[in-house]
Structure 1
Amino acid sequence: MTATIDHPAPTSSRLRHLGSLRELALLLMIAALIAGMSILSPYFLTPANFQAIVVGMVPTAIIVVGMTILLVSGSFDLSVGSVLALSSTVVALLLLAKVPIPLAILAALLVGVGFGLANGLIVTMLGVNPLIATLGTMSIARGAALVFTEGFSLSSLPPAFGVFGKTQILGLPLMAWIMVAIVIAGDVALRRTRFLRQVYFIGGSEKAAALSGIAVNRVRIVCFVVSGLLASVAGVLLASRLMSGTPTAGNGLELQALAAAVIGGASLRGGEGTIFGAVLGVVFVALISNAMTMLAVSMYWQMIVTGLVLVIAVAVDMLTRRKS
C-alpha cells in the first residue's frame, strides 16, 4: 500500500491535475462573480454583507468537510441536515433543563457520533446502499427533533451559550474561525495523513483496496462518524448563533453540501476530490445565493437556480470522468 501511495498511477495523477484545474477555474468564477456584483450592487462589497456571507456558510462549510471525505470514499450522507437539527434541539433542551453548557454540547456531539456510527454499520455490515441507509436515518433524526420540540423552536437559552455566535475576533464571530480551523484540519488530514489517504483507494476500487490490506469497512465507518460529528458541530454553532434550537433547521443542507463538493471537484463515483475544492464550491454557491438576494430574485427562483447548479455540476463531473 505504501508503494502505491508514493507512486500513484498515471490515471490518478491526471485526475488530480484535472481537479487542480477545476479548483483554479472555480477561483476565477468566484472572482468574476465578485467583480460583477460589485458593479451591480454598491452594498455587495460592504463589511456587513461579507460577514453575513461568511456566517451564513458556516454550517455548510463544516458539513462539506465530512461529505467530501465520504464522497472520495465512494459514499455520501443525506442525514447531515437532519442530524444538525436534532443536535441543535438536543443542546437547547439540555440547556433549558439547567444542564451545564459543556455537558450539553458534549451530548449534542454524541448524537452526531451515534448517527454516523449507525450509518456506517448499516452500510458496511448490512450492505445497505448509502442512499437508502442515510435517507432512513435522515427521517429518524428529523422526526426525533420534531417529537422532542413538538415542532416549535426552543429559545430563552443561557446568554453564555451565545459565545460562539456573538464573540468577535478580527471582525468575524468565533464560529467562523472554528469553521476555518475545521476546514484547514480536514484538508491537511485528507491530503497528508496515511489513514485518510486510504479513502482515495477505497473510492477508486474497493476490491483492490481490500486486497492491498486496507480495512475498508473500518475506514468507511470512521468516515461516517466524522460526517455525523461535524453535522452536530454545525448544529451546536447554529443554535449558539440563533440562541435557539430549531427542529426545521438544516432542511436541504445535505443537497447544498453535495452540490458544493461536486462543484469543487469531488466525484459521485468516488476516488477524487479535495476539501479545499469543496469549500470553494460552498463559497461559490453562497455568493450566488447572496447575489440573487441582493438583486431581489424570488426565493422560489433561487431554489430553481440551486437545482440547476447541482445538475450541471454532476453532468460536468460525469463528462470529465469519461474523458479522463
Structure 2
Amino acid sequence: MTMTAQANLPMKPPLLRRVLQAFVDIRELTLIVLIAAIIIVMSNINPYFLSFSNFRAVAVGMAPTAIIVIGMAILLASGGFDLSVGSVMALSSTVVAMLLLSGMAIPLAVACGLILGGIVGVVNGVLVTGLGINPLIATLGTMSIARGIALVLTEGFSVSSLPASFAWIGKADIGGFPVIVLFTILLVILFDLAVRHTPFFRQVYFIGANEKAAMLSGIHVTRVRIILYALTGVLAALAGVLLASRLMSGTPTAGNGIELQVLAAAVIGGASLRGGEGTILGAFLGVVFVALINNTMTMLAVSIYWQMIVIGGVLVTAVALDMLIRSKRG
C-alpha cells in the first residue's frame, strides 16, 4: 500500500478512548462496573453490607420497583411514560386486600387487581393517543384519581387481617431465595428476550425513533401504544399485589414517589425521554444501582430526606448525560 493510500485511511482512536466510548454506549456495562464499585467500597466501610441478609433485604425491597420498571422502560422506548404507576400499585393493593377480606378466592382477587391495573393503563393510553393529551398531564391526572380512589375506599387506613395463605406469594422461599425475587428476575429475563427478539416489541423502537415513519411503514401506532400503557398498568398492579402479600396488608399510600425512582432507574439504564432507546436489562440494572445507593445511605445513617435529594439529583444527572451523549452523536 502506498504512503498516499495509507494517509487517506481513517485513523483509529486511541485504545483508552475506545474503551471509554464502549462504556458510554453500552449502558449495562457501565452500570455493572458502578454496582461493583459500590459493593467493593461499602464492603470495606461496613462488613455487614456483603452479608446475605442485607442483599436479601435489598432484593426483596426493590422487587416491586423492578417489576414496574419493565413497563416503564418499554413505554419510554415508544416515546411515552406513565406517572400513575405508584397510584395504580396502591389501588390494586387495597382492592385485592378488600376482596380477600370479603371472602373471594385468592386467584380471583389477584386477577381482579391485575384487570383493574390494565383498565387504568387503557384509560391512560386512550387519553394520550386517542385524545392527544400530553402524557405528563394525562398520567398525572390518573395518578391523582387512582390514589384518591384508594384513599376513599379505605378512608386512609391500611386493609389488614388478610388470609394467611396469601402470604406465600410475597414471603415464601425456594432454596433460601425469596419467591418474589426469583419471580422478578424471571419476568426481567422474559421481557428482555421479548423486547429483543419479538416483532411486536421491536415496533416499539420504531415508534419511539420516528412515529410518522412507523405509521407510514404500516405500524398501528395507536393500538401499540394503548397495549403498552395497559401492560404498564398490569405490571404496576402486579407489584401492588406482591407488596400486599409481603406486608399482609393493602396500603393506600403504597408506592408514593416510586414513579420518580422508576423513571430514574430506566433513564440510568439507557432509556431516553425522547424514545427509541433502552433495554429491560439496563432498566433492571438501574433499579439495582438506585437500590444500592439507598442501602448505602441507610447504612451510613443518611437522613431519608437527603436520600430523596440524592435520587432526584441522580435522575437530573442521568437525563443531562443522556442529552449530552445524544448531542455528541449528532
TM-score w.r.t. structure 2 length? 0.92
Change (3 A) 1:19 1:113: farther
Contact 2:42 2:49 in 1 (8 A): yes
Which is worse superposed, 226-235 or 172-181? 172-181
Name which of 36, 42, 51 aligns with 2:41.
36
Name which of 22, 27, 40 aligns with 1:22.
27
Q: How many corresponding residue pairs?
A: 309
- Residue type matched to 1:131 in 2? L
Name which of 128, 147, 151 aligns with 1:146.
151
1:53-64 equivalent positions in 2, closer than 5 A: 53-64=58-69
Contact 1:57 1:282 in 2 (8 A): yes
Contact 2:150 2:252 in 1 (8 A): yes
Distance 2:97 2:114 in 1: 13
1:145-224 equivalent positions in 2, closer than 5 A: 145-224=150-229
Gaps of 5+ in 2: 1-21
User: What corresponds to 1:11 in structure 2?
Assistant: none
Distance 1:170 1:40 in 2: 30
User: What corresponds to 1:130 in structure 2?
Assistant: 135
- Residue type matched to 2:201 in 1? L
Distance 2:303 2:163 in 1: 36
Name which of 124, 132, 143 aligns with 1:119.
124
Contact 1:164 1:173 in 2 (8 A): no
Name which of 232, 240, 263 aligns with 2:237.
232
State the 1:20 CA deviation. Answer: 4.9
User: What corresponds to 2:306 in structure 1?
Assistant: 301
- Superposed CA deviations along residues 94-142 of structure 1, whole A, max 9, x for unmatched, are 0111111111101100110000110011111101111111001000100
Residues 1:52 and 2:69 aligned together: no
State the 1:235 CA deviation. Answer: 0.3
Distance 1:131 1:107 in 2: 27
Distance 1:140 1:202 in 2: 29
User: What corresponds to 2:324 in structure 1?
Assistant: 319
- Structure number, greater radius of gyration: 2
SS in structure 2 at match of 1:296: coil
SS in structure 2 at match of 1:44: helix
Contact 1:155 1:243 in 2 (8 A): yes
State the 1:150 CA deviation. Answer: 0.2
Distance 2:212 2:175 in 1: 48
Distance 2:83 2:167 in 1: 28
User: What corresponds to 1:107 in structure 2?
Assistant: 112
Percent of residue pairs bearing the same amino acid type: 67
User: What corresponds to 1:266 in structure 2?
Assistant: 271
State the 1:36 CA deviation. Answer: 0.3
State the 1:174 CA deviation. Answer: 1.1
- Residue type matched to 1:313 in 2? A
- Residue type matched to 1:139 in 2? S
Contact 1:91 1:108 in 2 (8 A): yes
User: What corresponds to 1:8 in structure 2?
Assistant: none
- Residue type matched to 2:293 in 1? I
1:241-280 equivalent positions in 2, closer than 5 A: 241-280=246-285
Residues 1:92 and 2:93 aligned together: no
- Superposed CA deviations along residues 43-79 of structure 1, whole A, max 9, x for unmatched, are 1011100100100100100000000000000000000
SS in structure 1 at match of 2:249: coil
Contact 2:83 2:259 in 1 (8 A): yes
- Residue type matched to 1:175 in 2? I
State the 1:22 CA deviation. Answer: 1.9
Contact 2:24 2:30 in 1 (8 A): no
State the 1:21 CA deviation. Answer: 2.0
- Residue type matched to 1:229 in 2? V
State the 1:168 CA deviation. Answer: 0.4
Contact 1:187 1:275 in 2 (8 A): yes
Distance 1:214 1:194 in 2: 11
RMSD: 1.2
- Residue type matched to 1:255 in 2? L
Contact 2:167 2:245 in 1 (8 A): yes
Distance 2:120 2:26 in 1: 35
TM-score w.r.t. structure 1 length? 0.94
